[in-house]
Amino acid sequence: MHAEQPFELRRLCLAARAPGLTADQFARLVAASPDLSLLDHPDAGVLARLELTTAMVQWLLAPDAARIDADLRWLDAAGCTLLPATDAAYPVLLRQSPAAPALLFVSGSVAALGEPQLAMVGSRNPTAGGRSTAREFAAFFAHAGLTITSGLALGIDAACHEGALSAQGLTIAVLGAGLDNIYPREHKALAARIQSSGAVISEFPPGVPPLRDHFPRRNRIIAGLASGTLVVEAARESGSLITARLAGDAGREVFAIPGSIHNPLVRGCHQLIRQGAKLVERAEDVLGELKISLRHQLLAAPNPGSKNNPSLDKEYKILLDALAFEPASVDSLIERTGMNSESIASMLLILELDGHVAPHPGGRYSRMAGQ
């Protein structure tokens, strides 16, 4: 349990199993009973005045003690945290989103939940190109200091988590089941890698299976945690469109990557763009729109282009040598260096922020004088 948390863990477990309890409702409980001792001997009249649903009140009046005991044993054995919405470590953006969950079960780093996040979602059956794009974009964003948030699903979700991990970045997986029910099962190893530095989280207590109606609820957490949501590949009926809609409802940015008109897996993305989502062709398109500053994170990290490390790595030197003092396009730099576009874009962003290169209209760059 988090060090700042004053509540008894049993009381938190009781609240965590109250069906559908929101952060606002939990805050009312705390206002009525600051240490939650009300839950030891609940009063039906008091609970009713707190605007809890009938199902919540029924559970709190007659909880399953054996189940709560099992939850306590599992939390201890798994080393997981039960984080209430009133805790200072509860993510601020999620708390500000509609119907935020009252509590989160967290496996891994609680601190990771407070980092600037970008949600990335898409098809469970993507094209090879979509999978590659998701992985490359996630790696770029992770290198730029964003935490990548997704749902651990097959396809695009997994590619996004893997891309962030490949860049030694942070990533967060949100489940539609209890943390003891990693779904899909073939992603148990991926979940373990994620929680080693980032976090795997759920609002569902242990033992809860991955039911169909849990996934829209999971999607609201994914959208609520992040400053924006990027949809990589999605058909018109994709669950990713639910996440995008929830992001918009929470006042967050929505981004979509377009594709071929002949590819049914991008029709959902095209629909989002028609509805006002920002069209994304390059990873920098997303960074330019987010209302967060990444400059201090880029310069604080041990990036090879940082002035804190004046000796540039070989690839950065090659890229600088390929840049003249006349503006050059990324395509020209690809021809001159043999590097791929995503690597060049990532390095140019770092070099620009560190004062080595200057941007020009049309996506062109030149070396700064003296570099």
Domain at 152, CATH number: 3.40.50.450
Same domain, 33 and 127: no
Mean pLDDT (whole number) for 316-330:
83
Same domain, 308 and 281: no
Question: β-pairing, 278-279 with 328-329?
Answer: unpaired
In which band, very low, low, confident or very high, does the pLDDT at 370 lie, cut at 50, 70 and 90? low
Tokens 């003296």 -> residue? 370
Name the residue range of residue 360's domain: 295-367
In which band, very low, low, confident or very high, does the pLDDT at 283 lie, cut at 50, 70 and 90? confident
Same domain, 134 and 238: yes
> What is the spatial order of strands in the sheet that 357-360 belongs to?
328-329, 364-367, 357-360
- List Cβ neighbours of 104 (8 Å cut-off, separation of 6 or more): 82, 83, 90, 113, 201, 202, 203
In which band, very low, low, confident or very high, does the pLDDT at 280 lie, cut at 50, 70 and 90? very high
Distance CA 220, CA 277 (A): 17
In which band, very low, low, confident or very high, does the pLDDT at 305 lie, cut at 50, 70 and 90? very low
In which band, very low, low, confident or very high, does the pLDDT at 186 lie, cut at 50, 70 and 90? very high
Distance CA 173, CA 175 (A): 6
The overall average pLDDT reported for the chain is 89
Question: Which of these ranges, 40-44, 120-124, 307-311, has the smallest mean pLDDT?
Answer: 307-311
Residue at 66 is within a domain: yes
How many CB atoms within 10 Å of residue 206? 22
Residue 18 tokens read as 């109250």
Q: What pLDDT does 65 receive?
A: 96
In this model, does residue 365 exceed pLDDT 80? yes
How many CB atoms within 10 Å of residue 342? 18
In which band, very low, low, confident or very high, does the pLDDT at 6 lie, cut at 50, 70 and 90? low
Mean pLDDT (whole number) for 235-264:
93
Residue at 96 is within a domain: no
In this model, does residue 2 exceed pLDDT 60? no
Residue at 349 is within a domain: yes
Buried b (16+ CB within 10 A) or exposed e, 124-159: bebbeebbebbbbbbbbbbbbbbbbbbbbbebbbbb
Same domain, 333 and 357: yes
Overall number of domains in the chain: 3
Q: What pLDDT does 218 receive?
A: 97
Q: What is the enclosing helix (H) or strand (E) of 200?
A: strand 199-202
Sign of the torsion angle spanned by Cα atoms 5, 7, 10, 14: negative
Residues, the chain: 371
In which band, very low, low, confident or very high, does the pLDDT at 302 lie, cut at 50, 70 and 90? very low
Convert the pLDDT of each residue in 63-101 to its tens digit: 999 999 999 999 999 999 999 999 999 999 999 999 999
Same domain, 264 and 136: yes
Nearest to 120 by CA among 103, 142, 105: 142
Nearest to 202 by CA among 183, 185, 189, 188: 183
Q: What pLDDT does 309 receive?
A: 37
CB 74 within 8 A of CB 206: yes
Same domain, 186 and 74: no
For residues 340 and 105, the model is more confident at: 105
In which band, very low, low, confident or very high, does the pLDDT at 26 lie, cut at 50, 70 and 90? very high
Residue at 101 is within a domain: no
Q: What pLDDT does 307 receive?
A: 37
